[in-house]
Amino acid sequence: MLYLIENQKKKFPHIKKGKGHPLILLHGLMGGLSNFKALLDFFPKKGYQVIIPSLPLYKMPLLLTNIYSISKYVIQFLIKIRIQRATLIGNSLGGHIALIIAKKRLDLVHSVVLTGSSGLFEKAFGDAFPKRENYEYIRRKSQEVFFDPNMATKELVDEVFHIVNDKKKGIKTLYIAKSAMKYNMSKDLSVIQQPICLIWGRQDHITPPEIAREFHRLLPHSELHWIDKCGHVPMMEHPKIFIEILEKWLSKFNFNHENFFCKI
């Protein structure tokens, strides 16, 4: 990891950099904090505070290993660090978590950015990891995440291979994935009134373009932006374009006079 994780041994390990309007970055099920490196490098220089919590995907008891509990954890984290009216930026599972929080805690969420978000549909491994001991199979599945298969580096493939072949992590990964599939938000999206920015890869095979269009249709205050020659993780595959879209969208809001910290 390129940056120091604050309070690594405490309940809410996270990365925090910069001052200003808080951007909370939420990674996906097979993702990590490093997926957002470009955003962490860029936005603190532009007057934003970037915060990336380390999601407890493998640290909760099995019965609590689900998307609802992880969303509750992030809510507790935001309250603990006394931040409100933040912009939540979520990829894949992280986007799903952001939507759940936006629905439940209007006071904590100013706006939401979704990229390759689950919540309506996501092409997953299924009920098990077939051929999980087959490295070549895991390599191919990892490549499917990107438009450019070379983005699936050996380091990334090794990490996924380790997760699915670790019995405890593999089981918990399946529990979270299945809970996300069950928590379909199609009937909930109309009540989410915060501004939403959808940034989607045109060649996303995990959450295909029609899913982005459906999010755009169901979310009352949403904008949809496309990145061409791009798969499921635009902020990794085309970070400059992603940042350009995001910065322009954020510039619509006047954050100068807002209070982002809870009063005690």
- Mind listing the pLDDT tens digit for each residue in 72-90? 999 999 999 999 899 999 9
Residue 146 amino acid letter: F
pLDDT at res. 242? 98
- pTM for the full predicted model: 0.90
Exposed e or buried b for every residue in 140-166, given b needs 16+ CB within 10 A?
A: ebbbebbbeeeebeeebbeebbebbee
pLDDT digit string, tens, across residues 94-143: 999 999 999 999 999 999 999 999 999 766 544 445 556 788 988 998 99
The whole-angstrom separation of Cα 229 and Cα 149 is 11
According to the model, what pLDDT value does residue 121 have?
79
Q: What is the mean pLDDT of residues 7-16?
A: 77
State the alpha helices, DSSP H only, in the chain: 37-42, 67-80, 93-104, 135-143, 154-165, 167-182, 209-218, 234-237, 239-250
Report the mean per-residue pLDDT for the chain.
89
What is the tens place of the pLDDT at every residue in 209-243?
999 999 999 999 999 999 999 999 999 999 999 99
Compare 174 and 230 and report the one with higher pLDDT.
Answer: 230
What angle, rounded to 10 degrees, do the helices at 67-80 and 167-182 form?
A: 90
pLDDT given for residue 73 in this prediction: 96
Q: What is the per-residue pLDDT for 126?
A: 46
* Buried/exposed 54-86: b ≥16 CB within 10 Å, e otherwise: bbbbeebeeeebbbeebbbbbbebbeebebbbb
Average pLDDT over residues 15-29: 95
What CA–CA distance (Å, rounded) separates 171 from 164?
8
Strand-pair partners of 197: 113, 223
- Return the pLDDT at 127: 47
Q: Which residues pair with 261 in a beta bridge?
A: 83
pLDDT band at 33 (very low <50, low <70, confident <90, very high): confident
